Amino acid sequence: MNIKNIANVDNETAKYIKLETERQKNMLEMIPSENYASKAVLEAVGSVLANKYSEGYPRKRYYQGNKYIDEIELIAIERAKKLFKVPYVNVQPYSGSPANAEIYLALMKPGDTLMGLTLSYGGHLTHGSPVSMSGAVYKGVLYDFGEKGKIDFDELEKLALKVKPKIIVASTTAYPRIVDFAKFAKVADKVGAYLLADISHIVGLVIGGCHPDPVPYAHVIMTTTHKTLRGPRGAMIMVTQKGLKKDPDLADKIDKWVFPGLQGGPHDHVTAGIAVCLKEAGTVAFKRYVKQVVANCKVLASELTYYGFDLVSGGTDNHLILIDTHNKGINGRLMAIGLEEAGIILNRNWVPKDEAPPFFPNGIRLGTSALTSRGMREKEMKKVAAWIHKAVEAMKTLEFDYKTWVDIAYGQKKDPQKRKRLDSTFYNLISICPDIKKTAQEIKNFCKRYPVPGIDF
Ligand SMILES: Cc1ncc(COP(=O)(O)O)c(C=O)c1O
């Protein structure tokens, strides 16, 4: 992007935008909730639409001058309706977390029960966790996968019959397998609950036919727009025919809880970005892209398994992989830090039955959405897996006592000050490790061959 004007006004901010641009170009971005938006989407987000205020909805605004903004919001809505085959869409939510809150406000009263997947099994904070408003205002009852590593729908039904939830959330944020919306619907329908499908992660896969469609089963669907959809940071709430049948006022209720319930003026520049990304998502090229994301992820998973990584559930059906780092003897936090030094960006993550607190989880989560947006395919995934392996092996050779670190971070000898000192030792060792440095250089050279959409090379 051209940031000449920023540089003229504000050199400090420009400097860091430039550095971040270089970072995005020179490293392997593998956080599964991230992606690269196209230049067209970035242009929309950086446009004059950011200047406008338009509280309300198209043709029903509280401010003047919204003639063109109305058209843009209507285009976004119509595109989403067509793409997902739903009768109602709200494109104003600022992001996924407020969108979920808006749905809860529309469908529940404070103190009502919602059921969502627990965090360590791949659920999201906004699905009833006590540390989020979803579990503080409502009664979050969290389910997990039980012993078999899969949702036991008989158990889910028993739990639902017992706690009588108003909403069951069928959604994951760190789960490498298919979400069976039909089975969730059977349980929700039996107990009279609303089924909310939060498809923030898998939305692109749903559009591309690589994941079952929630539309026939869910009453309400929420998605963020910045993950596999490759749009701007935002979210959409959709109501299905099934949802309107259960409650004909559902769409109105959601509209009211988005504005004025929780939000003020919509971010019109983001709405334009959503309109553009939905146009892109309707193309054959996008369908090809998501198929490649999944194919890449499968190759990456089998290569990582070959290198002895312990994949939660044994593999992947979607765009992401969750690795349990116990067998490598390196905590997920340290592994993620070490891999960053090697040029590989992913996030640490809880794994099922993790004994560690969330800040020091024993897992890492990685995906192929962003790398595939750069044009990487199966053969490149083999290289990526080899680099991850090489970097982790290099970490193992460091003169660093990973076991003591665990004891000090969250074990028997817990000592935050000492842990910070040990962290510094780790940073120092990793920053001078020759194999890590070599990997970072190799990755930098490799990345030059794969342009980042939205960045001029
Ligand atoms: C399934 C799911 N829902 C909701 C959210 C929240 O989205 P945001 O970070 O845009 O608030 C996320 C974000 O990672 C998510 O994965």
CATH number at residue 197: 3.40.640.10
Determine whether the shortest distance from the Cβ of 224 to ligand 1 is under 6 A. yes
Catalytic residue check, 307: no
Residue 6: Cβ-neighbour burial (10 angstroms; 0-12, 13-18, 19+): middle
Is 58 within the bounds of a domain?
A: yes
Strands 363-367 and 320-324: antiparallel
Q: What was the pLDDT predicted at 430?
A: 98
Cα(318) to ligand 1 centroid in Å equals 17
What whole-number distance in Å separates Cα of residue 126 and Cα of residue 135?
8
Assess whether 227 carries a catalytic annotation. yes
Give residue 147's pLDDT: 65
294 CA from centroid of ligand 1 (Å): 20
Known active-site residue 442: no
Residue 72 domain-assigned? yes
Same domain for 428 and 326: yes
Examine residue 38 and state whether it is found in any structural domain, yes or no.
no
Answer with the one of 225, 248, 281 that is the final residue of a domain: 281
Please state the pTM of the whole predicted model: 0.96
Nearest CA to ligand 1 atom 4: 96
Locate the ligand 1 atom nearest the alpha carbon of residue 198 and give its number: 1
Nearby residues of 333 by Cβ (< 8 Å), 6 or more positions away: 348, 359, 360, 361
Q: Are residues 307 and 201 in the same domain?
A: no
234 and 305 together in one domain = no
- pLDDT given at position 367: 98
For residues 277 and 302, membership in a common domain is answered with no
- Point out the ligand 1 atom lying closest to the alpha carbon of residue 98: 11
Query: Of 247, 281, 315, which residue constitutes the final position of a domain?
Result: 281
Tell me if residue 55 is catalytic. Answer: yes
Q: Is the CB–ligand 1 distance for residue 124 below 6 Å? A: yes
| Ligand 1 and 96: CB distance under 6 A | yes
180 and 114 share one domain: yes
Domain membership of residue 141 (yes or no) is: yes
- Gap from CA of 432 to ligand 1 centroid (Å): 36
Q: Do 317 and 258 share a structural domain?
A: no
Ligand 1, closest atom to CA 235?
Answer: 10
User: Which residue, by CA, sits nearest to atom 6 of ligand 1?
Assistant: 96
* Closest CA to ligand 1's atom 9: 96
Query: Which of 113, 224, 225, 271 is labelled catalytic?
Result: 224
Q: How many domains is the chain built from?
A: 2
Q: Are residues 191 and 237 in the same domain?
A: yes
Atom of ligand 1 nearest to the CA of 199: 1
Position 284 scores a pLDDT of 98
CB burial readout 49-80, b (16+ within 10 A) else e: beebbbbbbbeebeeeebeebbebbbbbbebb
The size of the chain, in residues, is 457
CA distance linking residue 383 with residue 253, whole number of Å = 50
Q: Which amino acid is it at 67?
A: K
335-355 residue pLDDT tens:
999 999 999 999 999 999 999
Ligand 1 neighbourhood includes 200 CB (under 6 angstroms) = yes
Give me 199's structure tokens. 């498809």
Pocket test for ligand 1, best of 114, 124, 350 (most atoms within 8 A of CB): 124
299 and 237 belong to one structural domain: no
248, 313: one domain: no
- In this structure, the answer to whether residues 167 and 207 fall within a common structural domain is yes
Domain extent for 252: 45-281
For 220, what's the count of Cα atoms within 13 Å in the CB-facing half-sphere?
Answer: 30
Indicate whether 188 and 243 sit together in one domain: yes
Q: Out of 227, 333, 365, 374, which one is annotated catalytic?
A: 227
243 part of a folded domain = yes
Would the annotation count 125 as a binding residue? Answer: yes
Cβ-contact 39, 453 below 8 angstroms? yes
Quote the CA–CA distance of 35 and 23 in Å, as a whole number: 14
Tens-binned pLDDT, residue by residue, of the chain (457 aa): 788 999 999 999 999 999 999 999 999 999 999 999 999 999 999 999 999 999 999 999 999 999 999 999 999 999 999 999 999 999 999 999 999 999 999 999 999 999 999 998 889 999 999 999 999 999 999 998 776 667 889 999 999 999 999 999 999 999 999 999 999 999 999 999 999 999 999 999 999 999 999 999 999 999 999 999 999 999 999 999 999 999 999 999 999 999 999 999 999 999 999 999 999 999 999 999 999 999 999 999 999 999 999 999 999 999 999 999 999 999 999 999 999 999 999 999 999 999 999 999 999 999 999 999 999 999 999 999 999 999 999 999 999 999 999 999 999 999 999 999 999 999 999 999 999 999 999 999 999 999 999 887 6
Sign for the CA dihedral angle at 414, 416, 418, 424 comes to: positive
In a domain? residue 319: yes
pLDDT tens digits, residue range 254-298? 999 999 999 999 999 999 999 999 999 999 999 999 999 999 999
pLDDT at position 186, please?
98
> 25 CA to middle of ligand 1, Å?
25
Contacts of 48 (CB under 8 A, 6+ apart): none
Asked if residue 225 has its Cβ within 6 Å of ligand 1, the reply is no
**Residue 398 — φ and ψ, nearest 5°?**
-65, 150
Q: For Cα atoms 85, 252, 224, give the angle at the middle one, nearest 5 degrees.
A: 50
- 224 assigned to active site: yes
Q: Which residues pair with 171 in a beta bridge?
A: 198
**Which of 281, 309, 339 is the last residue in one of the domains?**
281
Q: How far is it, in rounded angstroms, from Cα 256 to Cα 102?
A: 9
- 332 shares a domain with 240: no
Ligand 1 centroid to residue 290 C-alpha, Å: 19
Q: What is the CATH number of the domain that holds 396?
A: 3.90.1150.10
CA quadruple 5, 8, 9, 14: dihedral sign: positive
**Which of 114, 134, 224 to mutate to test ligand 1, by most ligand atoms within 8 A of the CB atom?**
224
Does 429 show up as a binding residue in the annotation? Answer: no
User: Atom 7, ligand 1: which residue's CA is nearest?
Assistant: 96
Q: What six digits make up the tokens of 245?
A: 């049948």
Cα 427–chain centre separation? 27
Within-domain flag for 24: no
> Any catalytic annotation for residue 144?
no
Select which of 34, 43, 53, 291 is catalytic: 53
123 assigned binding-site residue? yes
- Quick check: CB of 349 below 6 Å from ligand 1? no
Residue 128 covered by a domain: yes
Ligand 1 pocket: which of 131, 173, 322 to mutate (most atoms within 8 A of CB): 173
Give me the pLDDT at residue 188, please: 98
